[in-house]
Structure formats: C-alpha cells, structure tokens
C-alpha cells in the first residue's frame, strides 16, 4: 500500500513524457518542441559544467537574503499590529494601500533606482515576501487562543513573559504558514525580476537561452525552477513539522 | 459613533503625513520630473484624459478575462473530478504538482517561442497562472464535503452524477469562489509581469497593455511620474477585481462567508 | 416533611445565614451588564450575592446563559463586575493571580509544552515559583504529577493524551501553584460519561475529601450536570437565566468520603430531583426560545 502512490506517480509522469515524445516527434522542430531526450541531454550538459547550479545558487541566495530582510521587517511589525489595536489602526490603512500593488509593478521604478544588478531582484523579492509574511503574522498573533493567555494570567505571569512564552509559541504554526507563502511569493518574483533586470540567475538564464532559440536549455532551467520551488516549500514544511508537531492538521495542503 | 470617526482619522494620519513629507522633499529638488504627489496627479490627469491609460487597462483586462475564463473552464471540472474520485486524483495530481512550483512568468519565454509576443502568448500565461489556484482550491472544496452529507445522499438513493450536481458542486462552491478570487489576483499579476517582460525584450510598443506602457515610460521617455500612475492603476484594478469577485460570490452564495 | 420540602427550608436558612459566617470568598451584589445604559443592554448577571466558606466545595448549577461563567471570571479576576464587590479574605479582587487557580473547560494546555512543561509553567514564570530553586521546583512538579496519577507521562505532549489525561494535566498545572482557591469552569464537560464518573472520584480524592475542612482548598465549580453537582458539592448554588440570578442555595448533607454508594443513596436522588425542579422550566424554555 505504501508503494502504490509512488508507482502511480512514476506511471503518470511516464505517460506525460511519452505523450510529450510523441508530440515532439510529430512536430519535428527542436526550437518549437524538443524531444524529451534532447532536453535531458541539455540538462546533463548544463549540470556537468555547473552552469545550472551556478545560476540556481545565485537565485537561491537572493531568495534567502530577501526572506531574511522581509522577516526582519514583517515579524516585529506583525506582532505589534496583532497585539496593539491602536497601532494596527494607524499602520494598517497605509499597508492596505500598498498591498494591491504587486512586487512586479515596482520593477520599472526599481530599475530606475537600482539599475540592472543584484539589488533589483532582492528588492522586488523582499517586497513580494513582505506582505504574505506580515498578514500571516498578524493573523497568527490575533488567532492565539484567548484561553491560553487567560490561563497564564491566572498563574500571575507578567505580560511580557506572556508575549514571549505564550503568544509567540502559539502563533508559531501560523508564522510558518506565512513563511511558506512568503517563500512561494518571492520565488515567483525572482524569476520575473531576473528575467527583466539581472545579469545572472535562473530567470536570466531562461531568457538568455530563449534569445538564442536554444529551447532544450530553456526547458532545463524551467525544470530547475520548478524543482527548487518545490524543494523550498518542502523544507519549510519539514521545519514546521519538526518544530510545531502539534499543529499537524494545518499542514494538510 | 465618535469612535468610528476617530478610527478613520487615525487610519488616515499616517498616509497623509507621508504624502506631505514626500511632497516637501520633491519641492526641495525642483525638477518637474521628480515623482511627487502633485506631479503624479497631473500625470494621471494627462494619461486618463488622452485615453492612453484606460486603453492600456482595457487591453490588459481583456487578456486577463480571456485567460481566466480558459483556466476556469478547465480547472473547475478537473478539480471536481479529482476531488470526487481518488483514481482521477492519483493520476492527474503528479503532473499538476510538478508544474505548480513553476511560476507563469518562467513559462513566458516558451510561450513567446510558440506564439510570438502578442496577445495569444499573454492569454496562455494568464491561463497557466490562474489554473493552479483554481484547481487546488476546487479539489480542496470537493474533498471537504462532509462524508455524512454524502452518506445522506446515498441513503436517499441519488446516483453518482446527481450527487455531484446537488451535493458536491454546491458544497464546493465557497472553496471554488476562493480559488477564483486568488486566481484572478494571480492572473492580474501575471499579465502585468508578462507585458513588462515582453516590453523589455521585444523593443516595446508591440504588445500593448499596462505592463508594456510602464516599461516604455521607464526605458524610452523616463517618465517616473507616469510609471507611478501606472503602479497605482495596477493596484486599483487589483482591488476592484477582488472586491467585485467577492461581491459576486456573496450574491451567488449567501450561505457562505466571503 | 418530605425530603424536598426540608431541603427547601434548609436553602432558605442558608441564604439567611450567609452574612454572619466567616468567608474565604465574598460576592456582594455582583452585576454584569454589556452595552450602553438604556439602549439594548444585555444583563448577564443581576444582584448576585454569595459567600464561600474556607475549604468548602461549592458548585454552581444553572441553565445555559445564566451567567455562571461570568461569576467565575469575576472571582478569577478576568472580568470586572459592572456593580458590586468581589472579595477574597476580605480584600478586593483586582485581577488574576495564582492564589485563585482556574481550570478551563477545554483545559487550555500549552500544546508546545510537555506534561512536565505545562505543570511547571506557573512555577517557572509566575510568582508562585518565587523563592523556589530548580530542585525544589522539580520536586513539586514531580509530586503534583504523581498526585494526579500521571507519573510516566511527563514527556508526552497534550496532543498525544486522551481527554481524561489532559484534564489531569490541567488540574496538576493548577495545583502546582498551591492556590488557596480552585475555580473550575465545567472541567469535565468535554469528557465522555464514563470517564466523567471516574474523574469525579479522582477530583474528590485529589481535593482531599477525607481530610478536614481546614486542610482542604476552597473550590468553586461550575457544571450543567445536576448529579455531578450533588455528588461533588458541600453546597449547590442554583442560578436562573435572563438575567442571571441566584435562585437558591442547597445544602448537601451527604457524608464524605463520597463514592459509588453515595449515588445510590435515596437522599442523593431527592436532592437531584429538587434542584431539577428548580431549573426545569428555564431549561425547557431555552430549547424553544
């Protein structure tokens, strides 16, 4: 029973590859739709001369930097907004005005300010990750079970200790969900930002090879984007599972 | 009563203060191209009056709606089938899950290779982007139908198809609504990104839409004020789309929370 | 005189006697109202007056919405009354504190802490642990866990425990702080009927029902279940709803220690019937209103 899902997965992907192969043989145009074998060979080449991993590493590095900055900004702000109604009322409208403007829309202005380079993707990605993390933090802090806070109060625990020792651990599952969303958001932004305004990274590589009409390479990098996106999501989930085992049902999807 | 107006006042305090500081900083630097609130307002009036902005938004929206419709028409039935049948889910899910981490914008170069830099490629990107949130939420909605409800339908003698129609679809509607809302938001972001990228690579002007217009203002005429007007427009349209969808959902499904 | 009539006579006597005996807890003309005066105001509790003697096990019974939880929250210091005074040892209750430990209906255990961590929490982070070094703290936690019968489960997490076990942890967490008063808000409500009976026995054992009143802690306990009230209590306070008022105080003269035999006692049945007759109409109205 345990093996069945894995086998079904392999079978489904095999069917997918088979259909792909047939269609590519029928169109017989390597630029339009290269066969799976050609793509695989390109992938192996790129991996062998490390180009695949260099770009991947650069994109990942940018994402990690952006997440750190976004968390450093969003977590304290989120806690302040979640804990103090007055603060929330002052700050929230401004944030709600900015939020609908997606990170992507900032690219032209950011290009003007930063130019093409490393700073642009990091700025866009930080902005993209900031809002999901902030919103999730506020929701997590507000969603802390009142009873737990009351229980601590009846034990005479002082307010600051309650924030550190009750609110924070209570909100941790929600914070990790917010982090997952931030990761997804910033990983999407990295591609757009690099495609338009960076001299390196996976988004840049995809565009570079498209201009050269080297579709197998384009597809290889796209696959890498998918694999890394999946791996990052899984990593955050694993961290959540390890550190918040009691909130398992929040991780069903 | 007085607390309500107090709250509005507190909420407006920060944005107004920021605007004032921004304006003051801009006045100090004296160039008419500096993006300050008053220049931005003037640029907005120009762009709207000349019809450029409404046209660009209309072009982008047209692509969004087309792509969104394509995505919904494929994703909703597929999601319901996956939610209702384990077998379907097991066979389709691996493909869906493999492509989900690949953002629409990463597919853009492929779309351009296949369809050129015009509207068909844009619609494809939008459809791809909107597909995943819609299908994921539809599956979740179909699965979340309480098994007791399904058993009740079975004991009343409903066929599989009738159960789908009368129990699963209405029960999953709120979740489908959530998926559509998220899908619309993603679709709008995707079209802006796609038009921006195409504008950057195809030499601008060719594709139209608000994303392309923003890029032209950056690369060719360096009109920062107009860029900001476009950014605000992007935000406003996103808000209107979301609120509009929510209102529609509430009208169609009065029994669910928005 | 019938058992019911004599119980009613006792009740009246008790209400009259209240003001003369020394009390651990005093509630004087407590009222709790929500909303603006005159306009759509909800009165949760009106003119509630009750004294609780030291070492007494007092149970409050009443239909839903009669304000039982509000009374408990006032005693706990989690809510302030709109009118009236709440006193402990003749001093006003200003806020929550470890000398009035609270047990909540859904246990409110910290899910990220083990059993040990939960029980230790109040000692570690609150004033109840002042003056205790790590070793003394450890001793107290261990003995409390033993008292509630959970030795061996110290490293388990709440989500790994059954309902009955979680209730014991909640009780242990409360007792470890050595409170003078235990306030319990329907603590057994979430348990199935069989576990409930077992834990009623356990609760009385842990409270120390075979010791003298001077050695026991004061308990104020809320429940819906009349048989539970009569089984546990020294006195039962019956409340009615809309607005919440004290209807009667019933003296439960059943001997201690109480056990299964007590439940078969005819006087037990009579008391249950009497209390039920007092709130039956209200309970019915709540199902059709």
What residues have CB less than 8 Å from C64, skipping those under 6 apart? C224, C241, C286
What's the pLDDT at A178? 92
Find the residue in B nearest to A231 (Cα). B101
pLDDT at res. C238: 92
What is the H or E stretch that residue B26 is in?
A: helix B2-29
User: Does the beta carbon of B110 lie under 8 angstroms from any beta carbon of chain A?
Assistant: yes
Does the structure show a pLDDT above 70 at C15? no
- Give all domains of chain B, ordered by start, each with its CATH number: 40-252 (1.10.3720.10)
User: Helices A51-83 and A85-98: crossing angle, nearest 10°?
Assistant: 140
Kindly identify which residue of chain A lies nearest to residue B210, measuring between CA atoms: A105
| C-alpha distance from B61 to closest chain A C-alpha (Å) | 15
What stretches in chain B show pLDDT beneath 70?
A: 1-3, 29-33, 201-207, 256-258
Q: Min CA distance, B122 vs chain A (Å)?
A: 14
Q: Are A105 and B231 a contacting pair at CB < 8 A? A: yes
Q: Could you say which of B105, B113, B214 has the minimum Cβ distance to residue A210?
A: B113
The confidence band for C18, taking pLDDT boundaries of 50, 70 and 90, is: very low
Burial class (CB in 10 A: 0-12, 13-18, 19+), C2: exposed
Residue of B nearest to A104 (CA): B193
Q: Per residue in A192-223, pLDDT tens? A: 899 888 889 999 999 899 889 899 999 999 99
Give A151→chain B minimum CA distance, Å: 31
DSSP state of B160: H
List chain B residues with CB under 8 Å of A16.
95
Cβ proximity of C60 and C86 under 8 Å: no
CB contact under 8 A, A150 and C126: no
Q: Report residue B61: phi and psi, to 5°.
A: -60, -40
**Which of C73, C95, C111, C178 to substitute to test the interface with A, most A CBs within 10 Å?**
C111
Range C34-67 burial, b when 16+ CB lie within 10 A, else e: eeeeeeeeebbbbebebbbbbbbbbbbbbbebbb
For residue A212, the 8-state DSSP code is T
Q: Which of A156, A166, A247 sits opposite C98 (nearest CB)?
A: A156
Q: How high is the pLDDT of residue C6?
A: 60
Q: How far is residue B16's CA from residue A22's CA, in Å, rounded to a whole number?
A: 61
Per 3-state DSSP, chain A is made up of helix, strand and coil in percentages (nearest 5) of 85, 0, 15
Output the six-digit token pair for C128: 């109840």
Select from C121, C125, C157 the Cβ nearest to the Cβ of A246: C157
- Say yes or no for a CB contact (<8 Å) between B94 and A86: no
- Listed by number, the residues of chain C in 62-101 with a beta carbon closer than 8 Å to a beta carbon of chain A are 76-78, 95-98, 100-101
Nearest one of B22, B6, B39, B3 to B223, comparing CA atoms: B39
Of the partner residues A165, A172, A248, the one whose CB lies closest to the CB of residue C125 = A165
Please report all neighbours of B, defined by 3+ CB atom pairs within 8 A: A
Task: Answer yes or no: do B94 and A226 touch at CB < 8 A.
Answer: no
Which residue in chain A is spatially nearest to B214 when comparing CA positions?
A108
Window 192-251 of A, Cβ < 8 Å to C: 244-248
User: What's the pLDDT at C77?
Assistant: 92
Chain A partners (3+ C-beta pairs within 8 A): B, C
Q: Residue B122: name the closest of B54, B44, B56 by CA.
A: B56
A129 and A116 Cβ atoms separated by less than 8 Å: no
CB pairs under 8 A between A and B: 152
pLDDT higher than threshold 50 for residue C20: no
Q: Is A213 left (phi over 0), alpha (psi -120 to 50) or beta?
A: left
- Closest B-chain CA to A192: B105
Question: Between A8, A188, A227, which is nearest B105 by CB?
Answer: A188
- Decide if pLDDT at C109 tops 90: yes
Q: Do B214 and A108 touch (CB under 8 A)?
A: yes
Tokens of B106: 């990463």
Chains B vs A: touching, with 3+ CB pairs under 8 Å?
yes
**H or E element, residue A108:** helix A107-114
Best CA proximity match to C119, nearest among C73, C76, C95, C155: C155
C110 touches chain A (CB under 8 A): yes
Residue B10 to residue A90, Cβ atoms within 8 A: yes
Question: What DSSP assignment string belongs to B66-99?
Answer: HHHHHHHHHHHHHHHHHHH-HHHHHHHHHHHHHH
Name the pairing type of β-strands C100-103 and C25-34: unpaired
Angle, helices A168-197/A215-243, rounded to nearest 10 degrees:
170
Interchain CB distance below 8 Å, A105 and B92: no
> A103: which DSSP letter?
G
The whole-angstrom separation of Cα C62 and Cα B200 is 73
- Residue B228 forms contact with A (CB below 8 Å): yes
> Token digits for B92?
């389709």
Yes or no, beta carbons of A156 and C102 under 8 Å apart = no
Predicted pLDDT of residue C14: 54
Tell me if A222 and B107 make a contact (CB, 8 A cut-off): yes
Give pTM, 2 decimals: 0.81
Cβ C162 vs Cβ C115: under 8 Å: no
Give all domains of chain C, ordered by start, each with its CATH number: 3-93+218-288 (3.40.50.300)
Which of A8, A111, A207 is facing B91, going by the closest CB pair? A8
Between strands C42-52 and C25-34, the pairing is antiparallel
**Interchain CB contact of C38 with A (< 8 Å):** no
Chain-centre distance for alpha carbon C8: 23
Higher pLDDT, C241 or C75: C75
Contact C254, C10 (CB under 8 A): no
pLDDT of residue A253: 40
Residue A182, beta-bridge partner list: none
The set of residues, in sequence order, having a beta carbon less than 8 Å from that of A29 and lying 6+ positions away, is none
Find the residue in A nearest to B233 (Cα): A101
Residue A66, pLDDT > 80, answer yes
C119/B225: higher pLDDT: C119
- Per the CB < 8 Å rule, is A165 touching C104? no
How many other CB atoms sit within 10 Å of the CB of residue C68?
25
Q: Is the pLDDT of residue C12 over 80?
A: no
3-state secondary structure chain C: CCHHHHHHHHHHHHHHHHHHCCCCEEEEEEEEEECCCCCCCEEEEEEEEEEECCCCEEEEECCCCCCHHHHHHHHHCCCCCCEEEEEECCEECCCCCCCEEEECCCCCCCCCCCHHHHHHHHHHHCHHHCCCCHHHHHHHHHHHHHHCCCCCCCCCCHHHCCHHHHHHHHHHHHHHCCCCEEEEECCCCCCCHHHHHHHHHHHHHHHCCCCCHHHCCEEEEEECCHHHHHHHCCEEEEEECCCEEEEEEEECCCCCCCCHHHHHCHHHHHHHHHHHHHHHHHHHHHHHC
Interstrand relation of C181-185 and C100-103 (parallel, antiparallel or unpaired): parallel
Considering only the beta carbons, identify the residue of A31, A98, A226 that sits closest to B101. Answer: A226
Candidate from A151, A244, A248 with C-beta closest to C104: A151
At residue C74's C-alpha, the angle toward residues C70 and C75, to 5°, is 120
> Do residues C132 and C161 make contact, with C-beta atoms less than 8 angstroms apart?
no
Please say whether the beta carbons of C169 and C150 come within 8 A: yes
d(CA B91, nearest CA chain A) in Å: 6
Of B13, B101, B196, the CB nearest to A104: B196
In whole angstroms, give the CA distance from residue B106 to residue B103. Answer: 5
Judge whether A156 is closer than 8 Å to chain B, CB to CB: no
Contacts of A151 in chain C (CB under 8 A): 102, 104, 108, 110, 173
Closest-approach residue (CA) in chain C for A148: C108
Per-residue pLDDT reduced to its tens digit, A25-61: 888 787 888 888 889 999 999 999 899 999 999 999 9
Minimal C-alpha gap between B107 and chain A (Å): 7
- How long a stretch of residues is chain C? 289
Q: Among A98, A99, A108, select the one facing B227 at the smallest CB separation.
A: A108
Query: CA A7: distance to chain centroid?
Result: 28
Chains B and C touch (3+ CB pairs under 8 A): no
Task: Report in angstroms the alpha-carbon separations of B145 from B87, B138, B158, C27.
Answer: 18, 11, 16, 49
Look up tokens 């939960």; give the residue.
C118
Who wins on pLDDT, C142 or C64?
Answer: C142
Going by C-beta distance under 8 Å and a sequence separation of 6 or more, which residues neighbour residue C123?
A: C129, C132, C137, C140, C141, C176, C177
Per-residue confidence band for A65, with pLDDT thresholds at 50, 70 and 90: very high
Window 91-150 of A, Cβ < 8 Å to B: 91-94, 97-102, 104-109, 111-112
**pLDDT, tens digit, 9 for 90 and up, residues A82-135:** 988 888 888 888 888 888 888 889 988 888 888 888 889 999 999 999 999 999
What pLDDT is attached to residue C2? 59
Q: Do C112 and A244 touch (CB under 8 A)?
A: yes
């Amino acid at each position: 029973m345990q093996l069945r899902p894995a086998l079904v997965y392999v079978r489904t992907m095999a069917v997918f590859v088979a259909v792909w192969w047939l269609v590519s043989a029928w169109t017989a145009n390597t630029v339009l739709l290269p066969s799976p074998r050609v793509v695989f060979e390109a992938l192996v080449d790129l991996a062998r001369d490390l180009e695949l991993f260099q770009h991947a590493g650069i994109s990942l590095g940018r994402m990690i930097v952006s997440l750190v900055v976004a968390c450093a900004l969003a977590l304290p702000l989120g806690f302040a907004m979640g804990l103090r109604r007055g603060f929330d009322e002052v700050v929230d409208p401004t944030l709600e005005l900015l939020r609908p403007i997606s990170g992507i829309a900032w690219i032209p202005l950011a290009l003007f300010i930063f130019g093409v380079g490393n700073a642009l993707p990091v700025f866009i990605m930080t902005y993209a990750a900031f809002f999901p993390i902030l919103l999730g933090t506020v929701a997590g802090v507000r969603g802390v079970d009142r009873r737990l806070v009351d229980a601590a109060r009846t034990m005479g625990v002082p307010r600051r200790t309650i924030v550190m020792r009750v609110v924070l651990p209570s909100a941790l599952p929600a914070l990790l969900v917010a982090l997952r969303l931030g990761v997804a958001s910033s990983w999407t932004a990295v591609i757009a930002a690099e495609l338009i305004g960076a001299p390196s990274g996976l988004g840049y590589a995809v565009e570079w090879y498209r201009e050269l009409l080297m579709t197998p390479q384009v597809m290889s990098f796209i696959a890498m984007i998918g694999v890394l996106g999946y791996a990052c999501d899984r990593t955050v989930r694993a961290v959540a599972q390890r550190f918040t085992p009691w909130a398992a049902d929040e991780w069903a999807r | 009563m007085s607390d309500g107006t107090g709250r509005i006042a507190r909420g407006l305090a920060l944005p107004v203060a920021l605007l004032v500081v921004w304006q003051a900083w801009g006045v100090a630097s004296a160039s008419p191209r500096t993006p300050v609130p008053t220049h931005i307002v003037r640029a907005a009036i120009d762009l709207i009056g000349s019809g450029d902005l409404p046209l660009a938004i209309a072009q982008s929206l047209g692509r969004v709606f087309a792509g969104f419709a394509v995505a919904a028409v494929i994703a909703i039935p597929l999601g319901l089938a996956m939610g209702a049948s384990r077998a379907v889910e097991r066979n389709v899910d691996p493909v869906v899950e493999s492509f989900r981490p690949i953002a629409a914008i990463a597919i853009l170069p492929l779309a351009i290779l296949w369809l050129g830099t015009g509207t068909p490629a844009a619609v494809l990107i939008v459809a791809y982007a909107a597909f995943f949130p819609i299908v994921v939420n539809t599956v979740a909605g179909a699965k979340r139908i309480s098994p007791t409800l399904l058993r009740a339908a079975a004991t009343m003698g409903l066929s599989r198809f009738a159960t789908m129609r009368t129990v699963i679809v209405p029960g999953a509607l709120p979740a489908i609504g959530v998926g559509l809302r998220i899908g619309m938001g993603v679709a709008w972001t995707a079209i802006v990104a796609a038009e921006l990228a195409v504008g950057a690579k195809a030499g601008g002007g060719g594709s139209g839409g608000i994303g392309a217009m923003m890029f032209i203002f950056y690369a060719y005429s360096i009109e920062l004020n107009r860029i900001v007007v476009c950014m605000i427009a992007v935000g406003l349209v996103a808000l209107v789309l979301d609120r509009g969808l929510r209102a529609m959902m509430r009208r169609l499904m009065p029994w669910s929370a928005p | 005189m019938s058992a019911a009539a004599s119980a009613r006579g006792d009740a009246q006597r008790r209400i009259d006697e209240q003001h003369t005996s020394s009390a651990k807890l005093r509630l004087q003309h407590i009222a709790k109202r929500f909303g603006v005066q005159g306009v759509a105001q909800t009165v949760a509790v009106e003119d509630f007056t009750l004294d609780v003697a030291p070492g007494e096990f007092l149970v409050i019974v009443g239909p839903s919405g009669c304000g039982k939880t509000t009374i408990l929250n006032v005693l706990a210091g989690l809510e302030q009354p709109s009118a009236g005074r709440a006193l402990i040892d003749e001093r006003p209750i200003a806020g929550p504190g470890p000398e009035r430990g609270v047990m909540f209906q859904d246990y409110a255990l910290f899910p990220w802490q083990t059993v040990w961590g939960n029980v230790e929490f109040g000692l570690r982070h609150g004033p109840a642990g002042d003056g205790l070094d790590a070793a003394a703290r450890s001793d107290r936690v261990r003995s409390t866990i033993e008292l509630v019968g959970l030795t061996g489960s110290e490293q388990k997490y709440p989500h790994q425990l059954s309902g009955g076990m979680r209730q014991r942890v909640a009780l242990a967490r409360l007792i470890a702080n050595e409170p003078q008063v235990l306030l319990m808000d329907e603590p057994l409500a979430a348990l199935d009927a069989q576990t409930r009976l077992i834990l009623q026995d356990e609760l009385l054992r842990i409270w120390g029902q075979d010791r003298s009143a001077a050695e026991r802690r004061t308990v104020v306990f809320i429940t819906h279940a009349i048989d539970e009230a009569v089984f546990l209590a020294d006195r039962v306070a019956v409340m009615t709803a809309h607005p919440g008022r004290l209807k009667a105080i019933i003296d439960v003269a059943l001997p201690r220690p109480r056990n299964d035999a007590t439940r078969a006692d005819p006087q037990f049945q009579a008391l249950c019937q009497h209390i039920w007759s007092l709130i039956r109409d209200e309970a019915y109205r709540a199902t059709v209103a």
